[in-house]
């Protein structure tokens, strides 16, 4: 083979390799843009839609408000005591509450849906199905993406003791208070969402007995999922929605 032919072949190989690299680089940039930007746009739209549907549902079920009217004679007669029916179970993939965390900004509010499946977490935060219901004794536990799909828990490491986590189900405001800075652990540390949180690192949660607790979980590191960040809170206060926003959202 002549020197000229060899030079042409080498140039062809170099040019082809360069074009492949440029194409691969372009595809990588487009993929990153999709993950960072477009999934966020879609998730924000989905979350707004879930909150909108929740509010429509709540508006169709008026919140009871006390009255100053004098009760009738019939109302004063003793009536048999009835046990109120249990609340309906949360439905998989459906929203049932809205969460507010002032530490993350005045405009931060996200829907909470039942379940932690991939599709559910694209639309908001997800409630671990085997954990307590909102406001009840036990450990109401919620997961959320730290990055992608709206970055709901992007600022998770900023949580500090005393921070408020406020939720509403349309009739009641529930205010929880964070007990300590986020705890880093492994995905296998499932005790973090036990009724009385029991993480691998003893006393990391600080709870000694039954109570009304909240656990928040997200991925660690920020762009990975080899570990988890956990934040625990205890129930601080409740109040009817009819009384207006709780103090934690007014300050």
Assess whether 55 carries a catalytic annotation. no
Assess whether 225 carries a catalytic annotation. no
Q: Which residues contact residue 228 at a Cβ distance below 8 angstroms, ignoring those fewer than 6 apart? A: 184, 185, 186, 187, 189, 192, 217, 218, 219, 220
Assess whether 228 carries a catalytic annotation. yes
Q: Which residues contact residue 97 at a Cβ distance below 8 angstroms, ignoring those fewer than 6 apart? A: 54, 111, 112, 134, 167, 168, 169, 170
> Per the residue annotation, which of 109, 127, 146, 219 is the catalytic one?
219
Strands 109-114 and 125-127: parallel
> Per the residue annotation, which of 109, 146, 212, 228 is the catalytic one?
228
> Per the residue annotation, which of 109, 145, 146, 147 is the catalytic one?
145
Peptide bond into 221 cis (omega under 30): yes
> So which residues are the catalytic ones?
145, 219, 228
């Amino acid at each position: 083979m002549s020197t000229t032919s060899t030079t042409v072949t080498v140039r062809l190989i170099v040019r082809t390799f360069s074009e492949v690299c440029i194409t691969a680089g372009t595809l990588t940039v487009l993929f990153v843009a999709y993950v960072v930007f477009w999934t966020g746009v879609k998730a924000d739209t989905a979350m707004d839609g879930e909150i909108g549907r929740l509010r429509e549902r709540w508006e169709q079920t008026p919140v009871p408000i006390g009255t100053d009217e004098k009760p009738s004679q019939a109302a004063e007669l003793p009536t048999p005591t009835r046990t109120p029916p249990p609340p309906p179970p949360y439905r998989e993939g459906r929203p049932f509450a809205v969460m507010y965390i002032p530490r993350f900004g005045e405009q931060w509010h996200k829907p909470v849906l039942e379940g932690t499946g991939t599709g559910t977490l694209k639309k908001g935060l997800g409630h671990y199905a085997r954990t307590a219901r909102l406001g009840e004794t036990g450990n109401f536990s919620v997961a959320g993406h730290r990055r992608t799909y709206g970055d709901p828990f992007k600022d998770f490491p900023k949580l500090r003791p005393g921070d408020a986590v406020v939720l509403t189900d349309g009739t009641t405001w529930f205010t929880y208070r964070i007990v300590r800075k986020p705890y880093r652990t492994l995905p296998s540390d499932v005790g973090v969402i036990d009724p009385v949180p029991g993480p691998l690192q003893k006393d990391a949660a600080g709870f000694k007995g039954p109570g009304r607790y909240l656990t928040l979980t997200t991925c660690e590191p920020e762009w990975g999922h080899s570990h988890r960040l956990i934040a625990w809170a205890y129930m601080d206060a409740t109040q009817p929605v009819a009384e207006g926003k709780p103090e934690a959202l007014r300050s």
